[in-house]
């Protein structure tokens, strides 16, 4: 999905993003391509955005002024959307990075993707699921710029709980593994991302997926580097499915043979009960001869 030479447009909703994340989010996006366009949108006449001044200068982010003409209406969102569509139609970009936790950008993200462009979303854990799902990849700002550690507990009711890791990985390995029961780390990563745009090992306290899977007691990890293979321990330790099936089939056939062997014995018991009928018929015939 990402290429080193991809041209990115980084569009920041400054009204909903803290300037403390500016350096970390641009460092993160550097691994997805070159930020050819960097813009931050907001009403720069308000004191709430005063903290952005240093970040704008440091990272050459162009501030786009948008006055709030009407109370309760977010004019900043409208300006960002209009600019994004203009950039999309220019045809000079490969991907868009939308930095916001606002669900109002959900339709913008899907529209850009419909045009064949990649969309990276960056926002807080409280970001609505609709916007997260609308992006090819969604990165939570809380995991950027910090050393790997134990995942932080959910402190706000607005933040959704993390998916259960064991269920997530078990299902992913089971669905994406080969006939041998194992899957390459790259294929596993692709499957996880296809199921959840926001999946990130850093949410669980690990810097990389390789470190995450190696720490799980229910997974077997072999190989190294690009040759890492992952499988479920239960599947690796169990006997091959074909042998187990053959044994069960054999067990089912055995009682059938015994039952077949017992049938002649039943017939042998029934035969003596039919023989006495013959003398009775002979007596009847002899009586008829005497009567004649």
Query: How confident is the model over 14-53, as pLDDT tens digits?
Result: 999 999 999 999 999 999 999 999 999 999 999 999 999 9
Q: Which residue has the tokens 């991809």?
A: 6
pLDDT of residue 111: 98
Residue 222 is part of a domain; what is its CATH number?
A: 3.30.420.610
Domain termination site, one of 97, 118, 146 = 146
Range of the domain at 164: 148-238
Domain termination site, one of 82, 111, 146 = 146
C-alpha to C-alpha distances, 131 to 104, 153, 162, nearest whole angstrom: 8, 22, 17
Same structural domain, 119 and 192: no
pLDDT digits (tens, 9 = 90+) for 215-260: 999 999 998 888 899 999 864 454 444 443 444 444 444 444 444 4
pLDDT of residue 76: 87
- Helical (H) or strand (E) element with 42: strand 34-42
Q: Which two tokens stand for residue 206?
A: 């690990």
Residue 71 pLDDT exceeds 90: no
Is 253 contained in some domain?
no
Is 280 contained in some domain?
no
- For the chain, the domain total comes to 2
* Three-state helix/strand/coil letters over 47-86: HHHCCHHHHHHHCCCEEEECCCCCCCCCHHHHHHHHHHHH
Same structural domain, 17 and 95: yes
Same structural domain, 81 and 180: no
Same structural domain, 111 and 41: yes
Is 162 contained in some domain?
yes
Same structural domain, 125 and 93: yes
Same structural domain, 58 and 114: yes
CA 167-28-34 angle, to 5 degrees, is 130
Same structural domain, 173 and 47: no
Q: What is the pTM of this model?
A: 0.70
Same structural domain, 100 and 17: yes
Is 278 contained in some domain?
no
Is 67 contained in some domain?
yes
Is 229 contained in some domain?
yes
Rg of the chain over Cα atoms, rounded to whole angstroms, equals: 36
Among 31-40, 150-159, 166-175, name the one with the lowest average pLDDT.
Answer: 150-159
Same structural domain, 126 and 158: no
Same structural domain, 165 and 234: yes
Residue, of 75 and 290, whose pLDDT is higher:
75
Is 167 contained in some domain?
yes
Same structural domain, 58 and 126: yes
Residue 136 pLDDT exceeds 90: yes
Q: Are 84 and 108 in contact (CB under 8 A)?
A: yes
Residue 53 is part of a domain; what is its CATH number?
A: 3.40.50.1010
Nearest to 213 by CA among 201, 198, 200: 201
Domain termination site, one of 126, 146, 166 = 146
Is 263 contained in some domain?
no
Same structural domain, 116 and 33: yes
């Amino acid at each position: 999905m990402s290429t080193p030479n991809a041209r990115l447009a980084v569009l920041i909703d400054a009204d909903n993003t803290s300037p403390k994340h500016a350096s970390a989010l641009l460092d993160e996006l550097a691994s997805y391509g070159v930020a050819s366009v960097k813009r931050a949108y907001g009403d720069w006449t308000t004191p709430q955005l005063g903290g952005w001044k240093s970040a704008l200068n440091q990272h050459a982010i162009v501030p786009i002024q948008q006055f709030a003409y009407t109370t309760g209406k977010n004019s900043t969102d409208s300006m960002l959307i209009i600019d994004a569509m203009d950039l999309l139609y220019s045809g000079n970009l490969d991907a868009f990075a939308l930095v916001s936790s606002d669900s109002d950008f959900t339709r913008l993200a899907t529209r850009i993707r419909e045009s064949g462009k990649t969309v990276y979303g960056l926002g807080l854990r409280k970001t609505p699921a609709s916007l997260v799902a609308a992006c090819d990849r969604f990165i939570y700002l809380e995991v950027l710029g910090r050393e790997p550690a134990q995942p932080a507990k959910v402190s706000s009711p607005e933040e959704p709980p993390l998916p259960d890791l064991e269920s997530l990985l078990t299902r992913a390995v089971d669905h994406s593994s080969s006939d041998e029961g194992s899957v390459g780390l790259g294929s596993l990563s692709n499957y996880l991302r296809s199921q959840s745009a926001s999946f990130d090992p850093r949410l669980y306290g690990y810097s990389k997926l390789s470190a995450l899977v190696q720490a799980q007691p229910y997974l077997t990890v072999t190989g190294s580097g690009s040759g890492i293979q992952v499988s479920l321990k239960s599947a690796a330790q169990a006997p091959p499915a074909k042998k187990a099936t053959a044994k069960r089939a054999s067990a089912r056939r055995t009682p059938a043979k015994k039952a077949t062997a017992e049938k002649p014995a039943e017939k042998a018991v029934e035969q003596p009960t039919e023989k006495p009928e013959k003398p009775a018929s002979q007596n009847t015939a002899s009586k008829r001869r005497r009567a004649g």
